[in-house]
Structure formats: C-alpha cells, structure tokens
Amino acid sequence: MSESDRNDLEARVRRLERLVESLLPHEPPAVAEPPVTPPRPAPTASAAQERPVSRDTAIPADVYHRPVAVDATVLAERSEQWLGRVGIGFVVLALAFLLKLSFDRGWITPTLRLAFGFGAGIVLLAVGLRLETSRRRLAQTLMGGGVAVLYLVGFAGFQVYHLLPFWVSLPLMTATTVLAIVLGDRQSVPVLSVIGVSGGFATPFLLDTGSGNVGALAIYASIVLLGGGAVQLHKGWLTLLGILVVEGALTLAAMVSAPNAADSLAPFAAPVIYWLVCVASPIGRPRLLGVAPGSRDHDIALWVNRAAALVGTATTVLLFTALLGLERTGAGTLLLAFGAIGAIAALRLRGIRLSQWPAAEASTLCVAVGIGLVAGTWTAMLLIMMESAVLLFLVRRGAPASFRYLGHALAVGVAVLFVTGAETAPPDAFLGLREGALARLAALAMALVAASWAEREAQAYYRGAAYLGLLVWLLSELAIKANGAALVSVTWSLQGASALLYSVKTGSRTLQIGGLATLGLVAAKLLLFDLAQLDPVLRIVLFMGFGAALLALGYWVNRPGASTSAEPEG
C-alpha cells in the first residue's frame, strides 16, 4: 500500500469514528460514586446469544431521529474536488481563448508557442509530482496532461512549425514515452502507461521523414514493446496488454509492408519480441509471479489472455509469412510449430487455469488451420474431424467448456467442406471412386466416434450428420457411373430400410424418422427424376422392387412382437 493510500484510509477511519460518536447516546453526568461491586464473570458466547436484549437496555428511540452530523472534513474534500475541477476547466478555457487571440493577432511567435507548451508540460509534471502524496487523483490528471502536452510540442515543432530538427524531436518524444511508462508503474496508474505506450508507437509515424528506414522502425518498436511489456508483466494491467497487442500489430504491419523489410535482421527480431510480450508474458505471468486474482477479475483476465494468445499468435504468423514470403505450405508449417509450442506450454502450466487453457485453445486453432494448409483437402478434413473428437473427449476428462465449442466449430467446418467439396473431386483410379472418397468415409465414422464423446444434447446432431453424410457420399460416388441414378436409388433404399429395421430393434424414434424420411426421399426421386431418365425396362424393375420392398417393410415393422421395450430417444 502506497503512502497516499494509507493516508486516505486513516482519514476515512477518523471520519467514521466521529460519525459513530455522534450517533451514540450521551451519558448523563454522574451524581454520586456508585458502590464497588465484585466483577461478574464474563458470559460465554452461547449465553450471550441466548439472552434476549431488554428494551430497557436498548438504544433510546431519539437516537434514530437525531440529525446526523456530517463530518466537516468530508465536506471540505468534496468542495475541494468539485471546485478544483470547475476551476481548472475555466482556467484552461481562459488560456485557450488567450492563446487563440494571441495567435490571431501575432503576439506569440511559433517559437514562443513551443516554449510556452514545453514549459506548461514541465510545470504540469512538476506540480503533479509535488501533489503526489496529498492529492493523488489531481496529481495523476496533471501528470497525464503534462505528458500529452510534451508529445504535442515534439510533433508540432517538427511537422507543423519545422522549428525542431528530427534529432531533437525524436529524443524529446522518446523521453516522454519513457517518463510516462515509469510514472505509470510508480504511481500504479494504468492511464499513464497507456498514454506512454500509445505515444511511443505513434512517434515514428508522427515524425515520419519518408526515409523508409525499416531497421530503425523495428528497433524502436521493439524497445517500446519491451518497456510496455515489462510494466504489464509487473502490474498485470489488461488495458495495457490490449494496447500492446493492437498497436504493436499495427506498427509491425506497417514495418513488414515496406519493400525492403527483409534486408536487415531487426525486422525479423521484432515479431519474436511481439510474441514474447503479447502472448508468452501474459500466459506465463501467473506461474512466474504467482498471481491469484479474484473470481471476477480472474474471469476477465482469462478472456483477455485468450484474446491475446489468439490475436498475438495469428499476428506473429502473418508477420513472418510476409517477411519470409512463405507460401501456403510454409505458413501451415509455421502454424503447426506455434501449435506445438502452445501444447507444450499448456502441459507445463497444468493446473493454472489462467495460463493452461488459453495456451491450449490457441494451440488447437493453430493445429487445425495448419493441417488445413499443409495437408490435402480430404486428408485435412479427416485429421480435423479427429481433432474435434479428441477435444470432445478431453471435455469428458475435465477440460473447459471452450474445448467443446471449439470441437463443435471444427465439426461444422468439416461438414461444410464435406458437402461443398464432394462434387469437385475428380474420379480416382482406385475402385472407380472419387479422390478422397475413403477419407470422407472415414470422416463419417469419426463423426460417430465424436457423437459418443459429445454431450447428450449434441449426440443426435452428430449421428444425424453422419447419416446425411452417407447419403451425400453415395450420391457423389455412384451418380457418375453408368445407370448411376438407379444405383443411388437402390443404395438409398437399402440405407433407409436398414435404419428403419434397426429402429424397430432398438426403439429409437430418431432413427425411425430418419429411415422413413430416406424412403420418402427415394420415392420422390423415383417420381421426379428417375421416371424420365431411366430405361423403360429398368424403370419397371426399379419401381416394382421399391414397391415390394415398402410392402415388406410395412409388414415387418408392424408384425406382432416386432417392437422392443427400449425407450425411444429424445
């Protein structure tokens, strides 16, 4: 606890004591000395709880109607606070009007303007430091204003008035950045550090000379990242972490977009420093410093760490991809490498929820996207479906609910790819099937495995998706063959009949509805498409066989003793 916080606490305690004294009844003056009686034994806690409070010994009723005496110190502090704010506001307006009038009439030259601004910034900082212990909030406001004024002086002196050379403006704004970061850490004020880091990232662009020195920009951005990252590691300020992630990404993106970005070594070191500050530092901070925030702060920090891990890792990969000119396979390999680093970090940080789960979730997404970029379309689809099943299995073993949502998201992506990519696959030489047909069939089997590990509400969706996927797989593989329409109708009929018969055995209402819907789909296909496309003889045979099969199924499913006693599925 700082000295100012301790003084504030002691003042509050004194005010509370005076307020309690004003509320208590005053004792009447003593008339005679009471006789000395032997002391009674102190009652036990249980006896004190059981003995009722007498009305005679209760606080008099007039106490509740007695006016509460407001502490004069409280009124003085409130008056000082509001009067100070209003007074400063009017003073600032008066100075602004005076400056505008002086500018319009030429009383103050640009040199005097810069000197006045620099002096005002120094005075604000000095007064803020002077009031650091006695007027903490006012001191923070003054110091923040002083830092902002010094940034404006450096920018206006170089870009607007062209009075300060680059070698003067840059050290001035850099020193202002360092001063703001140090003051923010010393005062435990996130706003000062945020202003300093934001001004530090903006300085190269505010003082842009068009020289295109990418190496100098990379070194400067790395220094700002390290300074802000050190404060964030010490204090754990989530606002400062967000500024480092977002503004650091924008600054480095401008760096790698330069045509000569890969000519020096500094641009390659900057993304590494960015990843260490924005990803590794917040994830490893709970282990390094033993941080244990409250429940509400813990949840907020968990989500911020998740966002920092995802955005920071993605930004780092994109920066290296642009610097190295990587193609699809190279970017995928880089993602797999970061996925492996995240998995190792999650294992090393096991038991620390604030660190383990963000690292594991970022690793999961890196692996999924990396597989999609490195492997072929259908092999990637199978591997990602396997990853989805593994995530659902880990949720059964105690992993957080975010793994469940990630697993479902990956499964949905696989389903979309399965449906949209089936028709584009060319025929393969193996068994006359399309390219990747066996991989797509294996993905359907893996969906059934994932259904057994998913929560109860999602199991029906996975099984239904696998059932519909088999219909799509049969259509894509058989429709390209001779008499493909008839083969599709026959195989769909067999699938629907099998589902219906199995539902009779197990009592699954969902499977029963699926089988009946499949047979209805076959009937609609026969009437709308096959009736006009099939050979007359084949059409007669197909219609006759389908009708007879329906009659047989109707008899079979409703025969005596065919239904089971199992409860139907929800």
Q: Is the pLDDT of residue 89 over 50?
A: yes
**CA 167 – CA 161 distance, rounded (Å):** 15
The confidence score (pLDDT) of residue 560 equals 54
Q: Is the pLDDT of residue 566 over 50?
A: no
* H helical segments located in 397-436: 401-421
The top-scoring range by mean pLDDT among 164-173, 405-414, 499-508, 517-526 is: 405-414
Q: What is the mean pLDDT of residues 452-481?
A: 89
- In angstroms, the Cα distances linking 170 to 147, 165, 176, 217, 267 are 15, 9, 10, 12, 20
Q: Is the pLDDT of residue 555 over 60?
A: yes
pLDDT over 90 for what percent of the chain?
28
Q: What is the mean pLDDT of residues 118-147?
A: 81
Angle subtended by helix axes 136-155 and 3-23, to nearest 10: 150
Q: With cut-offs at 50, 70 and 90, classify the pLDDT of residue 38.
A: low
> Which tops the pLDDT comparison, 230 or 541?
230
CA dihedral 311, 315, 317, 318 (to 10 degrees): 140
The answer to whether the CB of 450 falls within 8 A of the CB of 385 is: yes
Q: With cut-offs at 50, 70 and 90, classify the pLDDT of residue 425.
A: low
Q: Is the pLDDT of residue 258 over 50?
A: yes
The confidence score (pLDDT) of residue 71 equals 56
Residue with tokens 């995928």: 332
Q: What is the DSSP letter of 279?
A: I
The answer to whether the CB of 237 falls within 8 A of the CB of 181 is: no
Q: Count Cβ atoms below 10 Å from residue 317 Cβ, excluding itself.
A: 22
pLDDT over 70 for what percent of the chain?
77
> Which tops the pLDDT comparison, 333 or 505?
333
Q: Which two tokens stand for residue 184?
A: 């923010």
The confidence score (pLDDT) of residue 565 equals 44
> Which tops the pLDDT comparison, 382 or 436?
382
Residue range 9-32, pLDDT digits in tens: 777 777 777 777 766 655 554 444
DSSP code string of 94-154? HHHHHHHHHHHHT-S-HHHHHHHHHHHHHHHHHHHHHTTTT-HHHHHHHHHHHHHHHHHHH
The confidence score (pLDDT) of residue 59 equals 45
By CB neighbour count within 10 A (0-12 exposed, 13-18 middle, 19+ buried), where does 174 fall? middle
pTM: 0.73
Q: With cut-offs at 50, 70 and 90, classify the pLDDT of residue 490.
A: confident
**CA 558 – CA 548 distance, rounded (Å):** 16
Q: Which two tokens stand for residue 54?
A: 């007498």
Q: Which residues contact 530 (CB under 8 A, 6 or more apart)?
A: 485, 486, 489, 539, 542
**Greatest CA separation for the chain:** 129
Q: Is the pLDDT of residue 399 over 80?
A: yes
3-class secondary-structure state, position 434: strand
**CA 301 – CA 527 distance, rounded (Å):** 60
**CA 144 – CA 124 distance, rounded (Å):** 9
Residue range 325-344, pLDDT digits in tens: 999 999 999 999 999 999 99
Residue range 173-229, pLDDT digits in tens: 889 999 888 888 887 888 889 989 999 999 888 887 777 788 888 999 999 999 999
> Which tops the pLDDT comparison, 551 or 348?
348
The confidence score (pLDDT) of residue 64 equals 42
Residues constituting the chain = 570
What b/e string do you get for 97-126 counting C-beta neighbours within 10 Å, with b at 16 or more?
Answer: eeeeeeeeeeeeeeeebbebbbebbeebbe
Q: Which two tokens stand for residue 472?
A: 């799509």
Q: What is the DSSP letter of 237?
A: -
The confidence score (pLDDT) of residue 8 equals 67
The confidence score (pLDDT) of residue 47 equals 43
Residue range 39-60, pLDDT digits in tens: 555 444 444 444 444 444 444 4
Q: Which two tokens stand for residue 434?
A: 């399309």
Q: With cut-offs at 50, 70 and 90, classify the pLDDT of residue 548.
A: confident
Classify 210 in phi/psi space as left (phi over 0), alpha (psi -120 to 50) or beta: left
Terminal CA-CA length for the chain: 59
Residue range 356-372, pLDDT digits in tens: 899 999 999 999 999 99
> Which tops the pLDDT comparison, 102 or 42?
102
> Which tops the pLDDT comparison, 415 or 130?
415
CA dihedral 381, 387, 393, 394 (to 10 degrees): -160
Q: Is the pLDDT of residue 65 over 50?
A: no
Residue range 273-321, pLDDT digits in tens: 999 999 999 999 888 887 666 555 778 888 899 999 999 999 999 999 9
> What is the rounded average pLDDT for all residues in the chain?
80
Q: Which two tokens stand for residue 347?
A: 């294992």
Q: Is the pLDDT of residue 427 over 70?
A: no
